[in-house]
Amino acid sequence: MQSSASVVAEPANPELDAVRLEALDCQRCDLWQGRTQVVMGEGNPHAGILLMGEAPGANEDATGRPFVGRAGQLLDSALEEAGIGRNDVYITNVVRCRPTAVKGGSVTNRAPRAGEIAACEPWRWLEISLVNPQVVVCVGGPAAKALIDKKLKITEQRGRFFDKEDGRAYIATLHPAYVLRLYSADRDAYRTARANLVSDLRQAQERAATKPR
């Protein structure tokens, strides 16, 4: 077992901590009315790779942490298979409050609307600029459209790097919730999609290792 004396703590990021605190009271869009809490990003505050997902779901809203439900478990296993520790990356979402809809009398998750994604943009760019990663992985279509190109087709353009003006490399990959939905519908498609997710994460890791900040 590693001794506590040999553990090297990540340097703090006080500016990011201040942004996280400030965001907790955000009411920039109507999603604040249905949330339990704002779900800001977590992970290495100086990570070389930042993962940008879609939105908190019920589990994330309840715990205050991104990607902790079944999709989060799949993401964790894909990260591990790609040789990346979850604590080595920074994980966040394009919106930080849970979007909900009522179906059949039950409250369910829904995709964030364009206006909600736009309203949350200041927090998104503050997290990116303060973590300052070399590579941003857009996890799913909404993140890829918001950060890379609003016309991006995720199934056709995932796994490619887009070098942006901010000096970072952006890459889109499949959302683990989408990969999970394939499991019961088409097992071969599930296996292919999961392998693509791992491959994209591995590419991000390799790029971050070679790209200077």
The dihedral through the CA atoms of 187, 193, 197, 202 has a sign that is: positive
Backbone angles phi, psi at 161, to 5 degrees: -90, 140
Q: Out of 116, 136, 140, 176, which residue is the one contacting ligand SF4 (CB under 6 A)?
A: 116
The footprint of ligand SF4 on this chain (CB under 6 A) covers a number of residues equal to 15
Give strand ranges (E) for 82-165: 90-93, 100-103, 106-109, 135-139, 161-163
**Number of helices (H), then strands (E), in the chain:** 9, 8
> Nearer Cβ to ligand SF4, position 123 or 207?
123
Q: 2 in helix, strand or coil?
A: coil
Candidate residues 16, 19, 20, 29; the one interacting with ligand SF4 per rule CB under 6 A: 29
Q: Least distance from C-beta 35 to ligand SF4, angstroms? A: 7
Stretch that binds ligand SF4, among 64-72, 73-81, 89-97, 156-164 (CB under 6 A): 89-97
Site map (CB under 6 A) of ligand SF4, residues 37-66, x = contact: -x----------------------------
